[in-house]
Structure 1
């Protein structure tokens, strides 16, 4: 067992210790030692360098900034991503992985996360990670997927509601806009206004996207929620290409316009039946003196003759590449689903709230109520007019004067309904469409997003590190099975030894020889990277006990 570092904890208690340095205790059969497999690829995400660049360091104490971030990473690796998850892992086991005698308690994790979130630099932290991602992997930044994500809140506070697509209801929630690269790995996340459309969010993010491209070609892919020809024109003006589905129905392409074309990615070939032609989109207002925008429409035909139309500003890419990138948008949805299940994407990391902007313009509920009354009045008017029509049809031989006398009551009802429609129509016209929030819901609050942005940054880096490990063994193990194999490996016990200034990590075999042979290959690749444990000069060397031959 590690020796208690009592002296350092006493110094930290009185503010005389900047932070405790990692000191590893050698041992055999140590629980969860396989989680150290995540560190080489985690270093490649820039998580630690971005955290230091943004926050520099925490206040003097036993646990440093790196130790706190590593604790959150290991909790995510063990599928206990919330701070409360530390209660389900022995502090000594988690402390060994940190090079300490024991890990943080839950209250300490919360206090450290509050300190990190205190300067309100969560967006800066996420931006630093995205810039690092763009610099290290420019090849995967050619296509960027943008989409909104609704994070439902089920507490008792008064939050504005948003439509939740997967449940098809409106619920109190926070809306975020996520960007992922062409592999589906997250790049950045921003908090959006609940009433903001995807069009307005993309327009707001244009300067950030342009800075992230750094002069390279960037194509933004999104769904029909971002359809706006004027937005497309603004994107082209900012030298950012776009790919999206056609929102409005268009004429189907004739059979002789289609051709077969394949696209290859990661050694897999995809065959599409496509039609390709140029179109012009009308702009609601002039952009750079132009009233139309020339685009390219690519139509995919599936079995049964169903056609899916895509519009893009890219003229240099093949039709099959554009179609493949558009349909690969589901990789982002796959990330949302996986992160909800394994990384607490929608969980509350903080129970603190902040007051909403009282001057924020929101839809006026009074106008909605007046419009409902107007619809009822119009229905009553149409029913009264229909009744008069029926009565007139039944008394064709009756003079008009006699008809009016016999149906005076029905005529009065119709006139009253018509005047009510006129009155309500004027009332709807006079009521403002949007009003300040303070005038209708002064008590409304927002969830404090700073801590959530910090935990988002840590968990998305963990996900990217896990994805990188899965890609390393993808040639010998399917991607879905690779993630399951990694989850097993992370929880494996092992031996820890320091030899010649290196950290020797020997992991127990997995549940099957075939899976163990895959782990052997992964350990060899990670060892060849010569990655040092964070905040130390110890190079990590990975191996598997009782190494079998690779079949």
Structure 2
């Protein structure tokens, strides 16, 4: 995403499940382009983790992300006077507090060689966001390299990522089917195996049995045996009943553990009920749709920017743009021109912005494939 809000690179990753590898790939691609200013990778909580953060920093890839599993009680206890920065985005006021989060990542040993890489110590910027409208607080993590981003720039980047509830894309998504999936070419994937669901079911039974055994052990330890007059233990005493229950549960636990050990870790879905086969998507068609989606987004972003002189807030410009899109219109064609006339909006301020946008579009000098010039105007019905 560029500073102007245009999408510079967009790809649907839904269903692939390898967000981190894609982010590392984009960082490597950016370095290969020898860009003067490296792009900042902005991603959601799926990328959280010291190991992944360490990889990005070693790769010299700047990033911004939400902090996962942040201590909400601590965030809410921070004094209001510590929030020294102020920023407004899409009509919402935020206060910001910045601190440093020291991190230490200790890699696991290599399973083949047994060697262990040295620990990696690094610092991340932590920005706590305080939404003054909802009073909600949340934290953002950032590593910027040499970019020296301001707290306001970090917040704007995080809240402007696609899918964030505060950004314009969420407004557009309600009006345009960005989640529309066209007729991609699908074929059965060569990989049709999944984690054995029977193992998960047995693991739950084992955990339940172990919990039940733990309770029996505690009760047994607190119970004293009861004896008959001849010194023999009573057969119906609580101590004896607990001992028998423990024996039964231990036998069940061993059987469950043995059954689980005999099961394969992964199974083919073809042999299971209520499972559909995995499909592989035709990448050529998918990438073409990704390109078209990027173009649609950039076109709408450009139109919204052209309306900035009339309305300052993104949300107001979005409503105005779609009001223009929904206007009734008429088309007239002659030897030289194709004229598209839109009905005028009722409010004077909106009608003025509508007319300016139409003049801007006409001034681009667009021509349709037949060679005729395109003119877009606002006016009354010609009928």
TM-score, reference length from structure 1:
0.54
Secondary structure in 2 aligned to 1:524? helix
Residue 378 of structure 1 pairs with residue 202 of structure 2: no
For the residues of structure 2 that align with 1:438 and 1:414, how far apart are their CA atoms?
A: 40
Change (3 A) 1:290 1:184: farther
Secondary structure at 2:107 match in 1: strand
Task: Quote the Cα distance in structure 1 between the aligned partners of 2:138 and 2:359.
Answer: 45
Q: Deviations over 1:178-234 (max 9, x none)?
A: xxxxx385842234546x3xxx32223422354257323211222222112111122
Q: Please say if 1:314 is aligned against 2:144.
A: yes
The 2-side partners of 1:352 and 1:527 are apart by 38
Deviation at 1:295, TM superposition (A): 2.0
Deviates more, 1:470-479 or 1:449-458: 449-458
Q: How does 1:277-356 map to 2 (within 5 A)?
A: 277-285=100-108, 289-301=118-130, 307-314=137-144, 316-329=148-161, 332=164, 337-338=170-171, 341-347=174-180, 349-350=182-183, 353-356=186-189
Distance 2:130 2:102 in 1: 18
CA distance in 2, matches of 1:337, 1:301: 21
Corresponding position of 1:272? 95
2:37 aligned with 1:235, yes or no?
no
Cα distance in 2 for partners of 1:382, 1:444 equals 41
Contact 2:105–2:120 (CA under 8 A) maintained in structure 1? yes
Deviation at 1:236, TM superposition (A): 2.3
State the distance in 1 between where 2:154 and 2:174 align: 30
CA distance in 2, matches of 1:416, 1:311: 52
Distance in 1, matches of 2:80 and 2:174, equals 46
Structure 2: how far apart are the matches of 1:402 and 1:336?
76
List per-residue Cα deviations over 1:367-413 (Å, max 9, x = no partner): 11211221232244234335535643x96999996368844343122
Q: 1:237 to 1:529 in 2, by over 3 A?
A: farther
Residue 369 to residue 336, structure 1, CA distance change in 2 (3 Å): farther
Q: Distance in 2 between matches of 1:207 and 1:330?
A: 19
The 2-side partners of 1:139 and 1:336 are apart by: 15
Residue in 2 that maps onto 1:208: 26
C-alpha contact (below 8 Å) 1:300/1:307 kept by paired residues: yes
Structure 1, unaligned runs of 5 or more:
1-133, 141-182, 547-551
Distance change >3 Å, CA 367–CA 265, structure 1 → 2: closer
Counterpart among 178, 190, 194 of residue 12 in structure 2: 190
CA RMSD of aligned residues (A): 4.3
Change (3 A) 1:322 1:332: same
| Mapping for residues 489-500 of structure 1, pairs under 5 Å | 489-490=324-325, 491-497=327-333
Question: Is 1:247 the equivalent of 2:68?
Answer: yes
- Output the CA distance in 2 between the equivalents of 1:341 and 1:255: 37
Q: Work out the CA distance in 1 between the residues paired with 2:194 and 2:350.
A: 55
Distance 1:437 1:295 in 2: 43
Q: Which moved more, 1:183-192 or 1:237-246?
A: 183-192
Cα distance between partner residues in 2 of 1:400 and 1:323: 78
* CA shift for structure 1 position 522: 0.8
Contact residue 220 and residue 243 of structure 1 kept, 8 A:
yes
Aligned pair partner of 2:309 in 468, 472, 475: 475
Check whether the contact 2:43–2:64 (CA below 8 A) recurs between aligned residues.
Answer: yes
Question: TM-score when scaled to structure 2?
Answer: 0.74
Question: Which residue in the other structure is 1:533 paired with?
Answer: 367
**Deviation, structure 1 residue 339:** 5.8
Q: Does 1:522 align with 2:357?
A: yes
Aligned match of 1:40: none
Q: Secondary structure at the match of 2:12?
A: strand
Give the deviation of 1:322 after TM superposition: 1.8
* Distance (whole Å) between structure 2 residues aligned to residue 507 and residue 221 of structure 1: 39
**Greater relative contact order (CA < 8 Å, ≥ 6 in sequence):** 1
For the Cα contact (< 8 Å) 2:184–2:286, is it kept in 1? no
- Rounded Cα–Cα distance in structure 1 between residues aligned with 2:196 and 2:7: 39
Matched, 1:421 2:245: no
Structure 1 Cα separation of the partners of residues 262 and 74 of structure 2: 43
CA distance in 1: counterparts of 2:164 and 2:47, whole angstroms: 16
Corresponding residue of 1:129: none
Does the Cα contact within 8 Å between 2:102 and 2:124 map onto a contact in 1? yes
Q: Is the 8 A contact 1:257 1:275 kept in 2?
A: no
* Structure 2 portions without partners, runs of 5+: 110-115
Match of 2:113? none
1:98-117 map, 5 Å? none
Aligned length: 360
Secondary structure of the residue aligned to 1:464 is helix
Q: How far has the Cα of 1:521 moved from its partner?
A: 1.0
Q: Using the TM superposition, give the Cα deviation of residue 447 of structure 1 relative to its aligned residue in structure 2, in angstroms.
A: 7.1
